[in-house]
Structure 1
Amino acid sequence: MTKEYLDLKMDFMFKQLFGHPSRKNITIAFLNDLLNRKGQDRIVDVRYENTELIKSDPDGKTDLLDILVYTSNHERINIEIQVGNQHNMTERVLYYWAKLFFSPLASGQNDTELVPTIMISILNYPLFPHQNDRFHNSFHIYEDLDFYMWGPHLEFHTFDLTKFRSRWKQYRRGMKAKPPAAYPWLMMLSTADYRKKTIDTDILQELEEWAMNEEEVLEAIKGK
């Protein structure tokens, strides 16, 4: 790869790579690794769905999602990437989840058709800067005292690329020795910054080494 490596955080590039039917195998591998799906829980197929959400208010404004798929596990997954902090992400995720979760009812189906709806937010800023230093956080609804889950229908994941880059630089050897499944994909999204017009050559070099053993990762960086 060259110094012209493209920033995959750019909305158009992200959708072209992870939201195009011709690259379904990349989307499936990406989701399985981000969600750490293994064995019988692995996603084996996805169907791309309409990313337009029509608001019910009088102005009829349309919200456009980044990527929306229905999986072989009978769940709906929305993937959003956001580079700049608009200070509304927590409300935005809840709003989009509600619209997606209840969308079957709008088409006349009953509540037995409501499926688990998973929201994945990949952010280039810290959504929860002081709560912990993890780059991946997951959220469900739990009982306050005994912590059992209400149900599987709500699941949120946030991936903070700024914390990932920080931890990668600080704990590079340890992360490489025992990497999380999402590791190469987050490296891929962290390599270039089109706003600063910079490329992290250290991350890029490790990404190229990693890709030699990961078919979908190699295909993704070659076909970016």
Structure 2
Amino acid sequence: MGKRVLVKFSGEALASENGYGIDTSILKFIASEIKSLVENEIEVGLVVGGGNIIRGVSAAKEGIIKRSSGDYMGMLATVINAVALQEALEYNGIKVRVQSAIKMEEICEPFIVRRAIRHLEKGRVVIFAAGTGNPFFTTDTAATLRAIEIGAQMIIKATKVDGVYDKDPNKFADAKKLDRLTYEDAMNDNIRVMDDTAIALAKDNSLPIVVCNMFEKGNLLNIINGDFSKASIVTNS
């Protein structure tokens, strides 16, 4: 098998400067980065969050909306983002399929792991939408689960920072970048890589997690080719 990766984008990353909605200039940039991977014969799965539209936890905060309903609303938001990402990729000449954990045949395919792998083998990008299809699980956990199911060699979490820090670099000037971490390190309370469920799942399956800045042009391709200088990697050792 050639190189196969899963890239996870946060929904917030798609938002315009006002913090919500979808910025088409960001879609255009992401599409060009993914295109460079496809042109280098890398098989790509994508997961995108829904925080630019609605977050389940926030929706349920006042107690009017149940947490489970809030999470389902968040899953639907990820489908909206997945369709937008599909359009941007197709606009760039890339073959794409969206697979949703919640059936909605008029919009996209249902998630079937064998079909997803077949799409990847044919050079199509597969966007996995609607999380795991279950409430109380984050899109980080969904991304890790899909990465394991499709046999990805790594999961890349594309964020707005260039890696993992010992504390919030936006709040502390003396924050230090951590180039390599163990899964145990990644579960420390002050270090936010992914939620603990996602990290535990990655650890159990020896799936490397790479955290990088999604806006660093060419970084995704460099990481897949083994250059982690502008990223942080979480592995067994």
Q: Structure 1-normalised TM-score? A: 0.31
TM-score computed with the length of structure 2 as normaliser: 0.30
Is the radius of gyration larger for structure 1 or structure 2?
A: 1
